[in-house]
Amino acid sequence: MLSHNKSFTNVNGQPTPPPSSDHLPIKTVQPTSMEAALNGTQPESKHHHIWLITGPAGCGKSTVAQYIAKALNLPYIEGDEFHPQANIDKMASGIPLTDADRWDWLTALREESLRRLTEGSQGVVLTCSALKRKYRDVIRVAPYYDHNVLVHFVYLHAPEDVLLQRVGARKGHYMGANMVHSQFGILEPPGKEETDVISVDVSGPIEQVEREVLSRVEEAVAAVVDRDC
């Protein structure tokens, strides 16, 4: 057995470290994207990801976002918690928010997402209804502040009557069923030109929705990793 105190020299007489597993050229094998997700990690990439889970009230944004955050071991930001009290009071009274009500809120969500990424996380999962294209664009400009950031939208959708039924069954939530109709009135579903959007129908069981979203997110991560290689 080799002694830890024994010294070694190279052909020039200079000391070299003793052979050990720390110095062997061991080839590491990266897990596949799905294996990484199941182990609570993401494949290594130079990019950092903002996963914005979006859609009208009742589509299950918070439930799906928490599932994805846990599966990928990422921090989770609940967008509703960043609304100022004035916005919450308006929504609780059934008064739709105006664009002016939303700008500071959307900016705060973008800044908080970037802050979490600067703390070392490879990604962050964020919930925000982002019903209009211009609302999504507020988050979409995050890469201008950090060129290594990629923004992805997961758009959850279902027929209005399905979401009305779900919201009507909620207890103690400030978003009333009447707000669902008003949200559909201003909703601008992502178009084909918004290539950073993953669209998922949430009419089925929540477990099915969670699995589909995770699979689609993993496909997106794998595509970025392949592109980086």
Asked whether the predicted pLDDT for residue 100 surpasses 90, the reply is yes
Strands of the sheet containing 149-157, edge to edge, are 76-78, 123-127, 48-54, 149-157, 197-201
Greater confidence (12 vs 220) lies with 220
Domain ranges of the chain: 44-228
pLDDT at 51: 98
Q: Which of 41-55, 75-89, 179-193 has the highest mean pLDDT?
A: 75-89
Q: Output the CATH code of domain 44-228.
A: 3.40.50.300
Q: What is the CA radius of gyration of the chain?
A: 23
Q: What is the pLDDT of residues 149-165, one digit of tens each?
A: 999 999 999 999 999 88
pLDDT at 7: 42
H/E element holding 153?
strand 149-157
**CB burial readout 81-105, b (16+ within 10 A) else e:** ebbeeebeebbeeeeebeeebbeeb
Greater confidence (210 vs 1) lies with 210
Residues facing residue 123 across a β-bridge: 49
Query: Residue 113 in 3-state DSSP?
Result: helix
Question: For strand 8-9 and strand 15-16, is the pairing parallel, antiparallel, or unpaired?
Answer: antiparallel
Asked whether the predicted pLDDT for residue 12 surpasses 60, the reply is no
pTM reported for the whole predicted model: 0.77
Query: Residue 141 in 3-state DSSP?
Result: coil
Look up residue 77 and give its DSSP letter.
E
Q: What is the pLDDT of residues 15-33, one digit of tens each?
A: 444 433 333 333 333 444 4
pLDDT at 73: 96
Q: Is 71 exposed, middle or buried (0-12, 13-18, 19+ CB in 10 A)?
A: buried
Q: Taking a C-beta distance cutoff of 8 angstroms, is the pair 49, 150 a contact?
A: yes
> How far from chain centre, in Å, is Cα 147?
17
Asked whether the predicted pLDDT for residue 133 surpasses 70, the reply is yes
Range 58-85 average pLDDT: 95
Mean pLDDT, the chain, whole residue set: 82
Range 107-135 average pLDDT: 96
Q: What is the pLDDT of residues 55-70, one digit of tens each?
A: 998 899 999 999 999 9
Q: How confident is the model at residue 228 (pLDDT cuts 50, 70, 90)?
A: confident
Asked whether the predicted pLDDT for residue 117 surpasses 90, the reply is yes
